[in-house]
Amino acid sequence: MSKSVVIIGGGIIGLCSALYARRNGMEVTVVDREPKGHHGCSFGNAGMVVPSHFIPLAAPGMVGMGIKMLFNPEGPFAIKPSLNKRLLRWGWLFMRAANEAHVKASGIPLRDLHLLSRRLYEELADESGDAFGLHQRGLLMLCKSQKTLNEEAHVAGQANDLGLHAKVVDAKALAELDPTITMDVAGAIHFEDDCHLTPGSLLDWLRHSLEAEGVVFRDETEIVDFAMDGPWIRSVETRTEKTRADQFVLATGAWSGELAERLRLKIPMQAGKGYSVTLNNPPQLPGICSILTEARVAITPMGSSLRIGGTMELTGNDLSINRKRLGGIFKSVPQYFPEFKTSDFEGQEVWSGLRPCSPDGLPYLGRSARVQNLVVATGHSMMGVSLAPATGKLVSQLLLDQETTLNLDAFNPNRFDLND
Ligand SMILES: Cc1cc2nc3c(=O)[nH]c(=O)nc-3n(C[C@H](O)[C@H](O)[C@H](O)COP(=O)(O)OP(=O)(O)OC[C@H]3O[C@@H](n4cnc5c(N)ncnc54)[C@H](O)[C@@H]3O)c2cc1C
């Protein structure tokens, strides 16, 4: 008899976990409190697959930089000052992790998780007949100033040391690399292993495939508690009903910390809010996705549209839109792409999403030490799309107690539960 699993959360992490669990022979149910077609943070993001992101958010210099940015109301970073216990503890754990040793220890595990995902995306793109527009053209870190370019060149060197392909490109070579867009920059780092895709199409294709393969979806179903049998979850509970299974996966994104508390588990999490707008008729359409390095804005071509995304606001689980910060994103684009005007963004629909941010910038991926039949798969912060297929594959192996393709020690979901 095949084992059954309930996956709580139908974002990109939940759907990829469902895919590989089903293909590993399990009976799979995905439960999400939102209606069909809503996917938490996974819908309107920048769709980048980023082996270049091998440095976690918790890194030296980030605390000082964050504090400086706080004073700019149009800047990319915000924290709502609060005496909230969860936020204070998260902040303390972040500061504790933001050191060189942590960055060094995280590089290889993150690289391997990204590269496994990239390989799995290639397989899924082939299988789907290119249903979600995977483009393997790399990522450009565009730098306005020579100073930033020099700093980023250092990161490119670290990437090369990890076996990744990254090179410094000056303004002239950049214009040749992507002649479809006019750029006013000192140069860029071309991270050649990176790719981009269209997240909405990916989610649609996954849902369609999963339904065809017999995965059961329970939309508009909010899990509020768990019925326990000693250290085992017997069932998940909504306000009106219970669902039993052999195994459970916690993949509820930014909301995972609070739900984990119902299980008496400490999975520190803060929501990192970001915005995006998608221009259907952009003045120009680049061929390669990019990050405007100084402005911290992501730019991704998706079919004939162009998505622009940014900001990281630690302001609670709140999706409201801060127009000043949004204005900061819009103002930055013409500084790098002079054919664009801020007025190009007027009247555009704005999407907001909550990144699930762990305090050390690493995902939580593994079995709970205290709840025997729970696998945790969350906390992917700004890399959830990039890491999703690898996460899903590893979740499916964990569920069936198989040997995992990668060593998961760095992502241990119990790391703040037992040691603190
Ligand atoms: C502006 C922006 C740009 C980004 N760009 C990129 C990028 O280029 N590349 C990249 O890799 N990542 C990017 N990200 C990050 C990425 O979007 C996230 O890491 C990813 O979507 C997280 O996926 P998830 O499945 O963990 O969470 P979510 O997508 O948020 O899914 C969690 C789901 O759980 C459900 N849920 C929550 N609580 C419950 C409950 N109690 N019961 C039932 N269901 C529940 C929610 O309804 C939701 O559907 C970006 C994010 C933002 C905001």
Asked whether residue 24 is assigned to any structural domain, the reply reads: yes
Distance CA 5, CA 244 (A): 9
Closest CA to 410 of 102, 164, 58, 13: 102
10 lines ligand 1 (CB under 6 A): yes
Asked whether residue 419 is assigned to any structural domain, the reply reads: no
Residues 326-361 have pLDDT tens digits of 999 999 999 999 999 999 999 999 999 999 999 999
Can you list the positions of beta strands (E) in 261-394?
A: 270-279, 289-292, 297-302, 305-314, 351-357, 364-367, 374-378
Residues 371-397 have pLDDT tens digits of 999 999 999 999 999 999 999 999 999
Residue nearest to ligand 1 atom 4, measured at CA: 45
Distance CA 344, CA 282 (A): 8
208-225 mean pLDDT? 97
For 164, the token pair is 């990744």
Residue nearest to ligand 1 atom 35, measured at CA: 9
Residues 159-199 have pLDDT tens digits of 999 999 999 999 999 999 999 999 999 999 999 999 999 99
267 lines ligand 1 (CB under 6 A): no
272 lines ligand 1 (CB under 6 A): no
Do β-strands 48-49 and 195-196 pair in parallel, antiparallel, or remain unpaired? antiparallel
Asked whether residue 288 is assigned to any structural domain, the reply reads: yes
Note whether 248 and 374 are within 8 A (CB). yes
φ, ψ at 113 (rounded to 5°) = -65, -45
Residues 49-85 have pLDDT tens digits of 999 999 999 898 887 877 777 778 888 888 887 888 9
**DSSP-based three-state secondary structure for 301:** strand
DSSP 229-241: ETTEEEEEE-SS-
Note whether 224 and 238 are within 8 A (CB). yes
Rounded to the nearest angstrom, the distance between the alpha carbon of 354 and the centre of ligand 1 is: 6
What is the pLDDT, as a whole number, of residue 418? 67
Q: What CATH number should be reported for the domain holding residue 264? A: 3.50.50.60
What is the pLDDT, as a whole number, of residue 399? 97
Asked whether residue 416 is assigned to any structural domain, the reply reads: no
Rounded to the nearest angstrom, the distance between the alpha carbon of 361 and the centre of ligand 1 is: 15
Asked whether residue 418 is assigned to any structural domain, the reply reads: no
Asked whether residue 272 is assigned to any structural domain, the reply reads: yes
Residues 243-296 have pLDDT tens digits of 999 999 999 999 999 999 999 999 999 999 999 999 999 999 999 999 999 999
Domain tally, the chain:
1
**DSSP-based three-state secondary structure for 49:** strand
Note whether 317 and 168 are within 8 A (CB). no
| Phi-psi group of 290: left, alpha or beta (phi > 0 → left; psi -120 to 50 → alpha; rest → beta) | beta
Rounded to the nearest angstrom, the distance between the alpha carbon of 103 and the centre of ligand 1 is: 24
Asked whether residue 299 is assigned to any structural domain, the reply reads: yes
251 lines ligand 1 (CB under 6 A): yes
Rounded to the nearest angstrom, the distance between the alpha carbon of 384 and the centre of ligand 1 is: 7
Q: What is the mean pLDDT of the chain?
A: 95
Per residue in 212-239, is it b (16+ CB within 10 Å) or e — as a string?
eeebebbeebebeebeeeeeebebbbbe
Query: Which helix (H) or strand (E) element contains residue 228?
Result: strand 225-229
Is residue 161 classed exposed, middle or buried when 0-12, 13-18 and 19+ CB atoms within 10 A define those classes? exposed
Per residue in 362-399, is it b (16+ CB within 10 Å) or e — as a string?
bbbbbbbeebebbbbbbbbbbbbbbbbbbbbbbbbbbb
Structural domain boundaries, residue 92: 4-411
Asked whether residue 58 is assigned to any structural domain, the reply reads: yes
Q: What length is written for the chain?
A: 420
Note whether 113 and 386 are within 8 A (CB). no
